[in-house]
Every structure is written in C-alpha cells, then in structure tokens.
Amino acid sequence: MESRTIKKTDWKNFKLSPSDFDFIHNYLLEKETPLSTRSIAEAVISERIRILKSDLKKELARLGKIYRPSDTYEIGETVTFTQNENLTAAVVSIREGHNPDIADFTVTKFAFENGDEKEFATALSDHALNDVDPLSALYPDFTDLSDTMNKFGKPILKSIRRDLTESEDLVCISDYWFPSALLADVNLGFLNLAEAVMEMENGVPVPTAKILEMIEYPSDSNAALTEFSFNFALKNDERFDEVGPLGKILWTLNSLEPEDVRKVPLTLRYKPTGYAKIADSVDLDPLDLSIHDELDQNSLEQPYNAPDHFDFCLSYPHWKAGTLPLLGAALEIFPTAMEANHFIFDFVDEASGEKIMGWIVRDGNYIAGLKSWFRSNKIIPGNFIRVRPGECDSEVILSKIPARSSKDWIRTALFDAKGRLSFETRQQQIAAAFDERLAISVENSPNLDLVWENHNKPDLNFERFLKSIFRELTRENPQGIVHFSELYAGINMFRRCAPKELLAALTNIKDFISLSNLYFKMNQNESDGEAA
C-alpha cells in the first residue's frame, strides 16, 4: 500500500516561499529592529515547525484511533498503524495472551486494507511503542529548531541570505536586515560631520555608535534602528567604506585607506602571457612545492577541515608589497565579512605581542599591512611565515618559523653598475626557516622598481625573457639544469607569472627540455642572447 506519511521538509534545499517573506516582513515590523540572517532563519524555521505540528495534529485527528500496545480495542473498531505507513485495520478477534515473563495482556487480530491479517499485543503496559510520540511516528524525520539548525544550519542560512538579497523591500548591512521603507532619513549635514570625525581618526576605522555620539546625532527610543538607518545612509555615500569583519560595523573614508588596499600593489599586478590560455592543460599542484600564489585558481579552494595553522612561503611579489596571498587553505584562519570588500583585523606578533592592523582585500585575493613587519624582522622571499587563529575572531597570530642556523648559502639578488639584476649564491644571515629553491636574499632598493617597470612593458618578448632568466640561474651550474621552483622564484623577481602559466611555457617552448621531477634544461644550441 502507498505510504500516507506527510511529505518530508527538504531542509538541505531550503528556499523561502512567498508566505515566508510575508512572515519575515511582519516579524521585522513586530520586533521593530534589524535582525541578523541567523535570527530570521530561526524565526522562519520555528514558524515552519509550528505549521507542521498543526498539520500533523489535524492528520492525527483524521486518522482516528492510533495503535498503542497499552490500549484495548473492541471487535469492529478501526485502528491506524502510524509505524506501518498509516495503514488502517479493523479488529476481528481478541484473545488472552500467554507468556510467563510478561504480565497479563491480550492479543488482538487486525484485518488490514490489503487483505493481510496480523496479531498485535494489546493491554500491554510495558512496551517501547507506548512512549512513541504519535507526531514523530507520523513524521519520522521531525526535529525541533535546535536539531534542524545543528544538522542543516549552513545550507539554510546560505539559502535565506541569497533569497533575502533578491528582495527589493529589504536592505542588509553587515548581515542584518530591515525594510527599507521604514528607515529614517539622514540629513546630509550629519554625513558631512561623520566625514569630519573619520578624518580626525586618521584612517583608524570608527564604530557607528562613536560617530553618532561625536556628531551629537538626535537620540531615539529605538537605538538599534537609528544606528541601522545611519549605517544605510553611510553605505549609500561613496565617501565611506564599511570595513568591519563579521559581527562588527566599522567605518572609514575611502580616501584614508592604505594605498595598497585602495590599489593593487605594483608587484601584485598580473599581465598574463599567451601561455596563460593553456595553463589548465598542465598538471601541477603549486602547494606541493610550497608555491603560494593566489594566481593559481586551485589554491583558492577551501579544504573540508579548517587548519589549526598555516605556513606561508613568501614570494618576492608579496615580500615587496608587504602582503600575503589569500589562499583557500588559510581562509578559515582569517576573519571574514558578509559584504565588505576591504575589512580590517589585527595581526598579533607572537614574539612581541605587538598588534598590526591587517587588511583583507577580497577582490585582489591578498592580505595587506605587513611591509614594516617584514623589514623589521629581516624577512626575505622564500621565508616561512606562520599564521594561526588568535584569541578572538578578529585576531590572527603571526610568527617566524625558526631557522636551522643563523647563516646559510642562498641565492642572492645583486645589481651591477648599470642597475641590472643578477643572481649569485652567497652566505647570508638567516632570520627564519626557508625553502631552498624559493629563497632569494634581496635588499629593498629603488632599482627593484626600475627592474620591475622594465620587464612589465607591453612589448616584452616573454620567450626571450624566460630564456635569459634561465641562463642567469644556470650561470653557476655546469650542468645547466634548473628546478621549476627556482625558475618560478627568479621570474617573479621581474614580473608576475602564475605557476601553471610558467609550466605551460616551459613545456611548449621547443628550446626547453623537460627532465624528471620538474627539472628543466635548455637546448645548448640556443644562442646565448642578452642576459636579463
């Protein structure tokens, strides 16, 4: 017989219905205050469960008497078995039960709709089915609010957030929602005063409450709604930028944000070559080589489990810019935000306890704010930098991984009399652990900017440039062999080149010979040409 149980609610593929939207609007009006996506989700789920309970009770009433082992029945009486797909059966006979281990009970025979006849214990006081809630029996997957959020909270929140975003009647600020028609108008004069307050703070982001206090904004009995209305006015004024991590609303002026936040730093600007189009055809996992580059799309994917720490191997472009790549493997360690493209947090130096303002730049996939820390800690490209979660959601612990020794032989970048960059292996002071193939000792110099500018011109012949860097890296190597990681580090001293893009070039330019384990050699018949 076909099951008559009520259809399950598909929480995994949850979507707001028109009646849900009506409920949300009325709920927000009733509360008279902006609510978070989670609060709205809990209210909607509770309402869905309330309606479901009501429907189930109506269904139970329609079904009539429900079979329980503790009950007694009469000949001809109709009974519903919720444990058996709500099939109904009529009582055809009743007899005494016989079992020395069980107290007095009866055995009742039921004739089911499909013609089957079965006997069940009745008048039995001690049985597990006596304690089964008929609602749960009728709807086996029935859960309360807490169970539903524990099992399906993430997909439900994601779906509700997406559906609310499509509503023209609701506005959102930092994951809080309220009907736009009910927001208070904010006079332009107060926005001008807010601008003055932020200028006084010299670029340090300010919470809304402090702004309202300093400009003596008219108080209201509903402080939360007043603050939300002011936030909405700031959001719609191009002078201001909301830069708080999730759970915090902080404002600053766009013009006061650090330059490397407002604009992508010079050495992070990427100009793809023709080999970028075929980069996906090569098989390479840069993370296995300690190459941490946001230009590799696979590196942006988040792992299933959040790490307790992540060790960045610093590339030259990020060393020069004072940044870290925003990789998927480390994403859970850093704060997040619902809407803000730029938002702040605190790096905490594990050794000194010093706090350093960091900036997440989501559209550039990088983290800014570490230039001074790199220089003061004598960090070089190829050093490992460890990050791990701080004591609160807006902090990230930053530390150097200790080196094996204070000195080591590593590749060193040198300038000749004409300002041209070359490489030579020299013994250098070492401040932190490093990758031997990616490490380059380099001192910050105006010549670095000039070298970068010269190798990022539109008319650069990339193949000729790649060969010249290859020759420079093999100058001290009689065998003329270079590992892919060494070439990646050397190339990125002059211009951005994605890992797979470089490998695509090496495997498609005929003068390069691929050896085992990502080692390469250049055809000896190739003319020497001009060095980089």
Q: Are 178 and 225 contacting, i.e. CB atoms less than 8 angstroms apart?
A: yes
Nearest one of 393, 250, 249 to 333, comparing CA atoms: 393
Q: What is the pTM of this model?
A: 0.78
- Of residues 366 and 479, which shows the higher confidence score? 366
Strands 395-400 and 342-349: parallel
Residue 298 and residue 351 in one domain: yes
Strands 407-415 and 440-441: parallel
Query: Of the candidates 400, 421, 436, which is a domain's last residue?
Result: 400
Residue 438 and residue 496 in one domain: yes
Confidence at residue 324, expressed as pLDDT on a 0 to 100 scale: 98
Decide if 190 is inside a domain.
yes
Single-letter amino acid, residue 381: P
Nearest one of 521, 499, 473, 513 to 289, comparing CA atoms: 499
Confidence at residue 139, expressed as pLDDT on a 0 to 100 scale: 61
Q: pLDDT-based confidence at 4, cuts 50/70/90?
A: very low
Residue 212 predicted with pLDDT over 80: yes
- Taking residues 293-311, what's their average pLDDT? 88
C-alpha pair distances (Å), 71 with each of 65, 101, 117:
10, 20, 19
CA pair distance 354, 390, nearest whole angstrom: 13
| Token pair recorded at residue 433 | 């652990």
Please provide the average confidence, as pLDDT, over all residues in the chain.
89
Confidence at residue 372, expressed as pLDDT on a 0 to 100 scale: 96
Confidence at residue 134, expressed as pLDDT on a 0 to 100 scale: 66
C-alpha pair distances (Å), 370 with each of 178, 274, 312, 366:
38, 33, 13, 11
- Taking residues 499-521, what's their average pLDDT? 95
SS (H, E, C) 370-410: CHHHHHHCCCCCCEEEEEEECCCCCEEEEEECCCCCCEEEE
Confidence at residue 141, expressed as pLDDT on a 0 to 100 scale: 57
Residue 164 and residue 232 in one domain: no
Residue 156 predicted with pLDDT over 50: yes
Query: Of the candidates 385, 400, 415, which is a domain's last residue?
Result: 400
Residue 347 predicted with pLDDT over 60: yes
Residue 29 predicted with pLDDT over 60: yes
Query: Of the candidates 377, 400, 423, which is a domain's last residue?
Result: 400
Confidence at residue 433, expressed as pLDDT on a 0 to 100 scale: 96
Q: pLDDT-based confidence at 138, cuts 50/70/90?
A: low
Domain with residue 226: its CATH number is 1.10.10.10
Q: pLDDT-based confidence at 203, cuts 50/70/90?
A: confident
Decide if 457 is inside a domain.
yes
Going across the sheet that includes 87-96, the strands are 78-81, 87-96, 106-112, 117-122
Residue 175 predicted with pLDDT over 60: yes
Confidence at residue 528, expressed as pLDDT on a 0 to 100 scale: 47
Residue 299 and residue 241 in one domain: no
Confidence at residue 246, expressed as pLDDT on a 0 to 100 scale: 84
Percent of the chain with pLDDT over 90: 67
Domain with residue 491: its CATH number is 1.10.10
Least confident of 5-14, 24-33, 123-132, 200-209: 5-14
Decide if 374 is inside a domain.
yes
Residue 502 and residue 378 in one domain: no
Which residue, chain included where needed, has tokens 């600053």? 252
Decide if 532 is inside a domain.
no
| Token pair recorded at residue 495 | 């211009």
Residue 246 and residue 393 in one domain: no
Q: pLDDT-based confidence at 416, cuts 50/70/90?
A: confident
Residue 461 predicted with pLDDT over 80: yes
Single-letter amino acid, residue 432: A
- Taking residues 222-247, what's their average pLDDT? 93
| Token pair recorded at residue 532 | 């980089």
Environment class of 67 (CB within 10 Å of its CB; exposed 0-12, middle 13-18, buried 19+): buried
Residue 49 and residue 74 in one domain: no
Decide if 348 is inside a domain.
yes
Decide if 528 is inside a domain.
no
Least confident of 120-134, 286-300, 382-396, 473-487: 120-134
- Taking residues 410-436, what's their average pLDDT? 91
CA pair distance 50, 59, nearest whole angstrom: 14
Tell me which range, 9-18, 54-63, 79-88, 465-474, is most confidently predicted by mean pLDDT. 465-474
- Of residues 60 and 323, which shows the higher confidence score? 323
Residue 3 predicted with pLDDT over 70: no
Residue 16 and residue 134 in one domain: no
Residue 403 predicted with pLDDT over 60: yes
Confidence at residue 146, expressed as pLDDT on a 0 to 100 scale: 86
Decide if 510 is inside a domain.
yes
Q: What is the pLDDT of residues 45-56, one digit of tens each?
A: 999 888 888 877
Residue 16 and residue 152 in one domain: yes
Residue 74: give the domain boundaries: 66-138
Residue 83 and residue 225 in one domain: no
Decide if 414 is inside a domain.
yes
- Taking residues 487-508, what's their average pLDDT? 96
Residue 531 predicted with pLDDT over 60: no
N-to-C CA span, the chain: 81
Residue 422 and residue 508 in one domain: yes
| Token pair recorded at residue 169 | 């009647």
Give how many domains the chain has, as a whole number. 5
Confidence at residue 140, expressed as pLDDT on a 0 to 100 scale: 56
Domain with residue 348: its CATH number is 2.40.330.10
Q: Are 420 and 450 contacting, i.e. CB atoms less than 8 angstroms apart?
A: no
Beta bridge partners of 425: 411
- Taking residues 517-525, what's their average pLDDT? 88
Residue 287 predicted with pLDDT over 70: yes
Residue 416 and residue 496 in one domain: yes
